[in-house]
Structure 1
Amino acid sequence: METAELLPSRRLARWHLALPLLAVLVLLLSTSATQRLDFWLHDTFIRLMPVTPPDDLAIVAIDEKSLEALGRWPWPRHRHASLIDRLDEAGAGPIALDILFTEPSENGHDDRLLAEAMERHGNVILPLHIFPGDSDMPLREFLPTARLTRAAAALGHVHAELDDDGIARTLFRRQGLGEATWPSLADAVAMQAGIQRQAPAATEQAAPYVNVRSHRVHVPFTPTGAIPRFSYIDVLKGRVPDSRLAGRTLFVGHTAAGFGDVLPTPLSGRGNPLTGVEFHANTYAAMARNRLIQPVSLWPVAATGIGIILLITLAFPRMRPTRTLLLSVGLTALPLLLSALTMRWLQLWMPPSAPAVVAALAFPLWTAERLALLTHFLNRQLDALGHERNVPTSELADTAPARLLEHLKELLGARDGWLVTEGQAVRGQSPVTTHQFQQPGKWQHEATTSRVRFHRNGAWHELGLVWPASGTDDARRAYLDRLPLHAGSAHAVIKTSRERLSRRIQRVHAAALNLAGMRRFIGTGFERMPDGVIVTDALGVIEFVNGRVADWFGTPRESLQGMPLPRLLAGSVPHTTPPSGTRNWRDAVLSVLTGGTPLTAELSLGQRTLLFHLTPFGRSPWRQPGLIANFSDITDLRERQRQYREAIDFISHDMRSPLVSQLALLDQLQRENRHAAPETLGQIARLARRSYELAEEFVQLARAEDLTEKRFYECELLTIAENAVDAVQQQAQSREIRIELEGEEDLWLQGNAELLERAVINLLTNALQYSPESTEVAVTVEKAGGYGIVAVADQGPGIAPEDQPLVFQRFRRQQNQEMGAPHGAGLGLAFVQTVAERHGGTVDLVSTEGRGATFRLYLPLEP
């Protein structure tokens, strides 16, 4: 079964298939790796498509019979003149005299007789040869003698090309030094016979000593013996009737074994090679039948291979293995068929081996790729399942006895313990050497010990716990009695196969069992969670719900599954309103689905208060994300908050009001000077004021802790600092302390200006309290990065390094200042830190003992 998780790997596998095939194609085309195979296919096609020679073609053979009758070679040239005259009398057509006459004869009279016979016939073609005169000499063109050249109707080169395997398959229709001047002998004969007007034109030029060749063609051959052959001596003696010679195009040359040039060909091979005259006669026959084969360039072959690769890449991933095999076989045969058809009907030779080899390699490569992909996927899944084993789903019976002992000691608070395996002490020492156990797996409890004997992993174990002197309670003993430790004395032995596939099957089976256990573990965990959990699909429809939600909402689980979440929130929850910024629960759920931003709200469900948290839930890369909703019961928390607020209200009203009245009365008594000494009244006033300040600090800290962004608004930082300085100016003047304020304007932020101002006042108050008289307190407001900084620096005694980490804690004061400065509650700096954190900022301290202290308040500014 396919899954979306496999799709990226499958697309990648296509490239894994295409790239190696393309690399193989490039390698084959750029090297001669498949050359021998191409030669074999070429020769096979040639043998299957022989050329029928024209009726007017024949060979006059200088054979063994002629050599025996006329003597050894070379013969005098007047004898060749006699042959030409005989053929002229018989009415023969063009005569290709495939004999080299590059040197004058010893008897000049013979050259004249041969030239005159050639001129009488008027259609005799002579060969030329290009080769070096000596081994260390450059190439030369060896033409017939000047007299014979003038008498010849045409000249043609007699060079055939041998491929790397030594077989003659091709020739160049033009060849020469410096320029491809000379046509092949067959081309020269064809022009004289009127088959073609002229040989292909020469196109290249080079240095005079460079052999320039052009217009290479492949020669298809006639069947052996298909071209008529007459013995030289029989023609010369008139034994061949004129009717058999009249009008024929004749090639005269050596055919005797071991004599003259011989060329292995696709038809004859090395065992029965053709002579040069037979090769050129076959070339002429192919030319007359318009069957010369032109080699194609590299690009059509490459295009064929690339087309096959594209077809394979597109088709293989969509097909079954059997069909891919058939397609691979078909695509392997396609280049062969295409090459044979182009050779037969278009006279073009396209080497088919490279595309065919690529197509043949496609199936095993694709099969290997699929197996590798399958193996990779299987290993990946097995590894993933192996990692899942880290989830604690194992049974108690899987815990090692030694670890079990340590866990029980830690959980139950045992003083000590012991473990004995097969009579050998592993941990601790049993207080009793021998002990009779009534039943395996059943705990036996005594005053200060508890022990059990159980069987596991093929061995017997004794485990004991030592309690404190007072013993243990019944709850611990009942817990131990419920522990299933005994696994039985018989256990199954599972044989592991050595075969690789079987081992993987066993691993998959074990992983499946582990996954099933893990699902049970997770399912049980969700059911027993103290919170309610709901999982929805991409449409907000409930797919999973645990029992806690069903109990709280008073709705059966079967009814909840399939219900849209907005309907549950809007209809089943009394006295509930959607979060701020949304008109209804449908908009709230939709905003989480579309925007991906988690949502938190409170729900009132009868007497219960629930904290509702909704967040996107991406279950898998190929499926639309759904939602996961969590309901936490915060009824007790809200009750504690209510009590906390009541305490704040009590302190702020019931505690402060009498103190204010007391201060007013004492002020009146002090003014009227009745029944109390001024010193007493002043001391009472200071104590009352201190009580008031304590309550005020406590109230301000509570307000800061209860601060949320709902109470934020736009405010300017320098204005806040100026207001704070104005608030403490009278206190500073009473101690003759100057407050210097410098800062940047237009530093705006979202915050609560009242609490921020109070935080700066606390910093200034501390600075004034701990600064000597007639000193200076510096207040600076500046910007650094995205933060605004309010710094308050005094010239006081500073703070000891050991006290600095504690200054922001509640009810903490500098120990060295307890007796020398006004007492406080230790809540002022805690208030400053709370206000900074509620605004997303922080506060820090830089102080050197004896050199004052600097507090910096960092607040994030608006962009």
Structure 2
Amino acid sequence: MKRETSRRYYLEHLAVLLVVAGLCIVLLHTGAWMSLSRYFYDNMLKLLPEPTVADITIVTIDEPSLQEIGRWPWDRSVHAQLVRALDDLGARAIVLDLIFSEPDRVRPESDAALVAAMARHGSVFLPVHVSEGDGGANLKEVMPHSSFARAAAGMGHVDVELDEDGVVRGLYMRSGVGQPWWPHLSLALLDHEDPRALPLYPARQAYAARSGVVRQYYRMVPFSQKGEGFRRVSVLDVLYGRAAASDIKDKIVFVGASAQGLGDVLPTPLSGRRGLLPGVELNASVFAALREHRLLRPLPTPWVWGLSLALALIAPTVLPFVAPRWSIPVVGGAVLGVLLFSYTMLYWRQLWFPVGPAMIGALMAYPLWTWRRLEYSIGYMRAALERQSLHDDLNQRLVQQARLDDFLVWLEQVMPVTAWRIRPAVPGVPNRLARSEGGAAVPERSWQGTRGRHYSMIHDHQRYELSLVWNEGAPTPAQEQWVRAMIARSDALPDHADNHYDVVESHIERMAAQEVQQQALTRFFEASLEQLRDGIAIADACGCLLFLNTQAQEWLGLTQRRVAQLSLLDIGRELVLSEDFNWRAILCDALSSGRAQLECRSRGGLDLYVDVLRIRAGQHPGEVLIVTLKDISEVKNAIRARGEMMDFLSHDLRSPMVSLLALAEQSRKAPLEPGQFLEQTEYYARRSLNFAEQFLQLARAESVQQEDFVLLDMLPVVESAIEQVNAQAVQRQIRVEFEYDLAEEVWVNGNHELLERGMVNLLTNAVKYSGAGRDVSVKLYCAGQRVHCRVQDHGVGIEPDFLQHLFKAYSRARSAGGARTRGAGLGLRFVKVVAERHGGEVQVSSVLGEGSVFTLSLPRTALS
């Protein structure tokens, strides 16, 4: 009994150690409780040595400067005057923390004056910023204009890193878009101050990211109370000669904004006492710490993990060996030791060790160790087991062993196996199975050939070897995986459930079995619901969402993270209902009658069939509503396409046939001249053929795949289309003008025939709807990463209210030219389908009586 008690004691000790270690790992991995680490870090900064700032002066653009000189931005001549004044006062270096990214096109002489002043001084430094591009899609580097950049002695980035609490504690010494080209502005200044010293923080071009910011050498700034000791001089004092020469001469001058709403003000660890810190002062603080090698560096991650685990496990390791009255002092000493270790590393090695995970682990050791002594846990586990065992029929079926007979029936009738046999894995052990082989008779060598496979399985506490001969060749990986799943389902391991030395372990074993069953049930239902092609949403009696499968999230534009914050009413906001339906009324109907159904659309444009069903799900969660979403977009599109096609067949395609029959009937009554009869017959036949040809071309365009595309030049595509339409244009006395630039690369990935036919359709319409003697202009050019083909006519134009329907099938504008331009309305629809299949678009602008402009835009492909 003593041995069992001792064993339990050490097992509990080990369990506490593992829990503390696991908690520490979770905190390290998730970054939780980082606020605690930051709190102690911010307070430790006050105890660090103060940097030297005697030779640093900050010239501020403050509120009086703005009131005196005028609103921002100032004329560049003011900045030029400031630089000259600082130069005359003997400034050693000037850092202009101002953005001069664009030239002054109104007053270019001001730019010239600033450039001259910078060149005259020779030690002026300018910042580089990283900002979002157009639309916020890409990042770009905002650099000083080339004239200022050439005059500057150096440039560097001034971007900082905000922690999760919105406080600036550090920055990267190297940064850039695609490569870390730019040093920090303070680093560029330091390199200029001491060019003979070894370069700090060299850029490493380990990789390149086209649109992302690449940053290296993260360092933390040791903000200190002495930051208030910077000499501060107003711009007005410098410009008007009121600044003392001792404040500027042989000093490094940082020029920047401090006025409210003008400059960038940043929260720092000392913001609570000093308020927000201007960016220019932050840069000065970085430079002061950098040149004295006092920038702080986070401890490498492997060291943080290792030291955190070691320090966190000190308290739970010592607690079992001390008296209970010493437990709290031991934990308190461990916490103080973590803080002392972190401060020592910060003071002597300029390394920051986050104390949060280690402190939390040490603090949690005491309640964890005490909790293991609480007797009421046994009663709680017993009650929990009783509650879980009330309805565990399905749970047991999910985890219970499959019968060997079922295993063999499935193996013979479903799996593509020629023969099978089961033999004991240990030679000499009798085979106690009723059936040990089956299938067709095969030679002995087949069991060891390419079709033979062998698997280990357990049945009735005995290990066997299952041998299979597959029908044809080696089995596929999926078939192998399924056989192993069958074996895992039918395996039965020895049961040691009764071999426990105390009641606690017995309850733990029962709890583990129930947990396995519950997990199996949860995984079973989650996997089943996730694999459904329909969207499923389950809500409780109060309308709160309990479950939303992936399909429903995608269709409704929701994320799993937001499910706990949404209700069933929120789903209605993502659905577009007709005027006859109201989402609240639908839910009320489902609660009253047990079921409600409707058809609607999602905000993403999908046609959905919604089925709301009310069911009873036991005591917990009780009554629930199950919302099933079915995508019926294909059915709706098919119905719409069928209606449009029937209209086309019944009218446009049928009309020429009726005309031919009428012509034949008229010829019987009053025979026409042969030439006239053949001309009209040919006209109606060609019209029918044209309708059918356009219909087939549209169907081909809709079925084309990008796998069929090749790299092609748009210039010969457009030239070929112009040649095909030229005869028609000459007949109507219309000249087609083609404008292009041979130096531009107008290459795209596409289908030559479809693109050519699309251009022919645009050109044909332009010629058809233009008056005689008027020109049609075609322009092929590049703009950004797009290739544009613009066709402009000077014809009748298009009604403004019809532009939105122009590219729909079987639709034509009323101003399209009358009977002489009759058609099926498929030409422009074909152009739009071709453009979309190629990842592009077609745009149109038109003015009645003046003409129309169609522009086909396609993604440009660069030649490697």
The TM-score bracket by the shorter chain reads: 0.3 to 0.5
State the TM-score, normalizing by the size of structure 1.
0.42
Q: Quick check: which has more Rg, 1 or 2?
A: 1
TM (norm. structure 2) is 0.42
